[in-house]
């Protein structure tokens, strides 16, 4: 039996309230109900507007996706969120990562952003353009768990990556360190804008409890390299199964 809308809202509002009560400003604490309503409303819209087809058979969404939006919000630290607009940008970012990253056409992605704008107007009485920074688009919002001031920080904040030049320098430094440490497994890759953002997406997923992702793309598009670099930044050990005639369950 599927839970009712009111039950779903109550569960996720409890989670959101618990997070925002942990050190956030009073005006942000009061946003838990708005964020919850907006998220569940957007989820219903996505289920209705982005239906699976033979070419889009992975357009399947469930309540786990809603929970992933709140998992992303749980990565936020109160000291880095002192204004309502930034918290809403985080919400937009998490919705884009959970829902939009699954969409395979630019037309669908543009449609999704317009639906976010509609949902924000309907549930929060605020338009998307009002929370974006100057000359910023929803697709440009990038949050990441890296510290651009201290590359070796043990617990880097999950913050908006406004300094794109600083972010590129950080990624290049991490890639150089990886190549120095992994002799024989050096990666010769170009860290352009999309590559950096994809790496941050992988980093976001693997830092979440039981985080997992399926990377789809043609060979040579950088899926392995970006995953290895993200694992290195997170200080995780990257294990890759290599099937051969001697492979067994024990291995």
Q: Residues 149-202: pLDDT tens digits?
A: 999 988 899 999 999 999 999 999 999 999 999 888 889 999 999 999 999 999
Measured CA distances, 14 to 3, 82, 174, 220 (Å): 16, 21, 38, 44
User: Crossing angle for the helix pair 63-73 and 84-98, nearest 10 degrees?
Assistant: 140
Write down the pLDDT at residue 169: 97
The SS3 assignment for 144 reads strand
pLDDT at 221 over 90: no
- As a CATH number, domain 5-136 is 1.20.920.30
pLDDT at 251 over 70: no
Q: pTM of the entire structure? A: 0.92
pLDDT at 54 over 70: yes
> Tell me: the pLDDT tens digits for 23-49?
999 999 999 999 999 999 999 999 999
> Tell me: the pLDDT tens digits for 109-143?
999 999 999 999 999 999 999 999 888 899 899 99
Name the residue ranges covered by the structural domains of the chain: 5-136, 143-233
For the chain, give the mean pLDDT.
Answer: 92
From CA 81, how far away is CA 78, in angstroms rounded? 5
Return the structure tokens found at 59.
């357009």
From CA 220, how far away is CA 79, in angstroms rounded? 40
């Amino acid at each position: 039996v599927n839970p009712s809308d009111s039950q779903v809202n109550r569960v996720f509002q409890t989670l959101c309230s618990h997070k925002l009560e942990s050190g956030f400003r009073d005006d942000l604490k009061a946003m838990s109900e708005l964020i919850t309503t907006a998220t569940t409303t957007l989820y219903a819209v996505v289920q209705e507007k982005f239906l699976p087809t033979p070419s889009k058979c992975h357009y399947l969404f469930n309540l786990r996706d809603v929970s992933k939006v709140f998992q992303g919000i749980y990565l936020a630290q109160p000291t880095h969120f002192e204004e309502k607009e930034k918290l809403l940008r985080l919400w937009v970012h998490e919705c884009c990562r959970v829902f939009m990253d699954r969409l395979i056409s630019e037309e669908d992605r543009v449609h999704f952003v317009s639906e976010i704008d509609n949902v924000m107007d309907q549930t929060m009485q605020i338009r998307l353009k009002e929370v974006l920074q100057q000359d910023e688009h929803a697709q440009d919002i990038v949050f990441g768990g890296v510290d651009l001031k201290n590359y070796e920080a043990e617990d880097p904040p999950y913050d908006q990556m406004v300094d794109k030049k600083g972010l590129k320098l950080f990624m290049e430094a991490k890639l150089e360190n990886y190549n120095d440490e992994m002799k024989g497994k050096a990666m010769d890759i170009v860290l352009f804008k999309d590559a950096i953002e994809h790496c941050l997406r992988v980093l976001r997923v693997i830092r979440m409890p039981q985080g997992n992702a399926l990377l789809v793309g043609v060979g040579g598009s950088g899926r392995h390299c970006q995953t290895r670099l993200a694992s290195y930044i997170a200080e995780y050990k990257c294990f890759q199964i290599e099937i051969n005639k001697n492979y067994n369950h024990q291995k």
